[in-house]
Amino acid sequence: MCSAAKHVPEIAKGFYGTQEFKELPSRISEIKKCLKNVRQSLKDNKKAVEKSGDDCLQQIHTLRQQFNAIFDRLEQRTVSEIEDKKSSVGGQIQTDIDRIDDVTERLQKLFDDFNDEGEKNEATSYIGFTKCDDMIWNAKVLLQEFDIKDENKMLFEPYTQIAENLSSFKMLGEVICDGREKLPLRPDRVFEVEEHVLHNVKLKGDTRSCNITGLCKLASGEFLLIDNYNLKIKRLNSNYKVTFSCDVPEHPQDVCVVGDREAAVTVNKKSENRHEIHLFRLRSEGLVKTRSIDLQYQCCSLAHHSGNLYITTHTSLHVYNISSGQYRQLYSDETGKYTVYRCAVSPDGSRIFITNATNHQLITLNKDGTKLSTLTHPEIQGPWDVHVTSLGHMFVSCGGLNTVVQVVGMKDGRQTVKPLAGEKENLAEPMALCFNSSTNTLVVGLRNNDNIAELQLKH
C-alpha cells in the first residue's frame, strides 16, 4: 500500500548531527525528573492517606469514648435512682416492721402483766383484760392496713428508643475519600433519579394521615418537617426516622432554618384571625419555642436569607427583618387565589422565585420585588413548592401532574424544564422539597400520605 519506501540507513544518515539527537539526553533527564516528582508525590499521598486514615480511627476511638462516657453517666444516674428508691421504700418497710414489733412487744408485756396479777385481784385482772383486748383490736386494725397494701417490688423498664435509634444507624459516620477524580457539582448540572425510597413518618399518636407541607435540613444533618394535618413539627435523624415531635397551633404550613440552632414555623388560625411565625431553638432533647412574630396576613411559606424572612400570603410576598422587626411588601398579584404560593431565594440573595399555582407559572423577582421573568411550560402544572440548593440547582413540585421537575438555566435567562420524578417514584401529590447535599438526594413531602420520598440523584 506504500507509495514509496526508504531504507533505515538512508533515513538515519547524518542523524548524529541533528539537534533532535543532541537533545535526547536532556529530554530523558527531564522526563525522568517529572516521573520522579510524580512518584514522590504519590508516595507522599500514600502516607497522607495512611495518616488521615489513622486520624479517622482516632476520631472513632474518641467518639466511642464519648459514647462510653454518656452511657456511664446514664448508668450511674439510673443506678443512683435505684439506690435512692431502695433506700426510700426500704425505709418505709422498716417503719412498718418497727410498728409491728412495737405492737407485738406491748401486747406481750400486757399479757405477762395480766398473768402476774390475774389470780390476786379480780378488779386488776379485769383492767388487764381490757387493756389486752384493746391492744388486740389495735393489732387487728394494723393487720387490716397491711392487707390492703400491695407488695413492694422494683422493676426496671429500659428506654427502648435508645436501642432503636442506635440500631437505625449502619455506621458511626460517613467515610469519605477525596480523590482527584471527584467531579464538582456544577450549577447547570442536570439530574436523573437513580433510585427512590419511601420513609414512613407517621407516629402512634397521629389521628390523621400525614400531610407534609414543609421541609428543611439542619446543619446537624437532621431534618424538620411540618405535618399539617396532625399539627406537629417532627424532627428526623439522617436516616429519616422520627426522633422527636411537638405540637403547634393550627395550621402550620412551612418551616425554614434561620440559624445554626434556630428554625421558623408559620402558624395560622383562621377562626381567631391569628397569623404568626414561631421561632424555635434546636436542642439535643428537642425544640424549645423562643418567641413568636405576629403578622397581619395569612402566612403560607417561608424562606430565609441574611437575617431576612421572605413570607408568602397566597397573593403577595413580604420581607421581615428578624433583627429590626421591619416588615414590608415586595410583590403582589391579586388576579387569582394562589398567585404567590411558595418562595425560594437564590444563594447570593439576588433573585427570589415564587410559584404561581393559579396560572401554572414560575416567577423570578429581583431582591427589590421587581418581576424579571415568567416561566410557563407544559411540565409546570399546579406548581406547589420551589427549592433552590446552595449551588443554585432549582426543583419545583407540580401537584397538577404529580411530578417534580428541575429548572435549568436560571442565570442566563434561557430557562428549560426537565422532568425529574413522577408516578414511577410513587409521587402522589408532591408538596414540600428539600435537597440533601451530603447524600445528593432530594427529599419530597407528600400530601395526605404517611411517607416522604427520598430520591437518590445521579448526574
Q: Around Cβ 63, how many Cβ atoms within 10 Å?
A: 12
Q: What is the mean pLDDT of residues 323-347?
A: 94
Do 228 and 212 touch, CB atoms closer than 8 A? yes
Do 426 and 199 touch, CB atoms closer than 8 A? no
| Residue 183: per-residue pLDDT | 45
* The pLDDT of residue 432 is above 50: yes
| Residue 253: per-residue pLDDT | 94
Q: Out of 18-27, 164-173, 302-311, give the one with best mean pLDDT.
A: 302-311
| Residue 182: per-residue pLDDT | 43
Structure confidence at residue 180 as a pLDDT band (50, 70, 90): very low
| Residue 405: per-residue pLDDT | 96
| Residue 283: per-residue pLDDT | 81
Mean pLDDT of the chain: 86
Range of weakest confidence among 143-157, 228-242, 419-433, 445-459? 143-157
Cell numbers 397491711 correspond to 146
Q: 349, 346, 348, 419: which is closest to 379 by C-alpha?
A: 419
What residues does each domain of the chain span?
26-147, 192-458
| Residue 411: per-residue pLDDT | 54
Do 397 and 385 touch, CB atoms closer than 8 A? yes
Do 267 and 248 touch, CB atoms closer than 8 A? yes
Instruction: End-to-end CA distance of the chain: give it in Å, rounded.
Output: 47
* The pLDDT of residue 179 is above 60: no
* The pLDDT of residue 125 is above 90: no
| Residue 181: per-residue pLDDT | 42
Beta bridge partners of 354: 343, 363
Do 421 and 376 touch, CB atoms closer than 8 A? no
In three-state secondary structure terms, 288 is strand
Q: What is the mean pLDDT of residues 97-126?
A: 78
| Residue 86: per-residue pLDDT | 84
| Residue 361: per-residue pLDDT | 95
Residue 9's H or E segment, with its range, is helix 8-12
Structure confidence at residue 148 as a pLDDT band (50, 70, 90): low
Q: What is the mean pLDDT of residues 315-327?
A: 92
Which string of DSSP letters, residue by residue, matches 83-142? HHHHHHHHHHHHHHHHHHHHHHHHHHHHHHHHHHHTTT-HHHHHHHHHHHHHHHHHHHHH
Range of weakest confidence among 9-18, 82-91, 132-141, 246-255? 9-18
Beta bridge partners of 351: 366
Burial of 441 (0-12, 13-18, 19+ CB in 10 A): buried
CATH classification for the domain delimited by 192-458, as one of 2.40.400.10, 3.30.470.20, 3.40.50.2000, 2.120.10.30: 2.120.10.30
Residue 35's H or E segment, with its range, is helix 24-117
Q: Percent of the chain, pLDDT > 90?
A: 43
C-alpha cell at 355: 410559584
For the entire predicted model, the pTM comes to 0.61
pLDDT digits (tens, 9 = 90+) for 69-99: 888 898 898 888 888 888 888 888 888 888 8
Q: Quote the DSSP letter at residue 314.
A: B
Instruction: Write the single-letter amino acid at 246.
Output: C
pLDDT digits (tens, 9 = 90+) for 265-318: 999 887 678 899 999 988 877 788 999 999 888 899 999 999 999 999 999 999
Separation between Cα atoms, residue 369 and residue 308, nearest integer Å: 14
C-alpha R_g of the chain = 38
| Residue 133: per-residue pLDDT | 82
Separation between Cα atoms, residue 343 and residue 396, nearest integer Å: 10
Do 263 and 279 touch, CB atoms closer than 8 A? yes
Beta bridge partners of 363: 354, 374
| Residue 398: per-residue pLDDT | 95
Separation between Cα atoms, residue 375 and residue 359, nearest integer Å: 11
Structure confidence at residue 149 as a pLDDT band (50, 70, 90): low
Q: What is the mean pLDDT of residues 216-241?
A: 92
pLDDT digits (tens, 9 = 90+) for 348-405: 899 999 999 999 999 999 999 999 999 999 999 999 999 999 888 999 999 989 999 9
* The pLDDT of residue 263 is above 90: yes
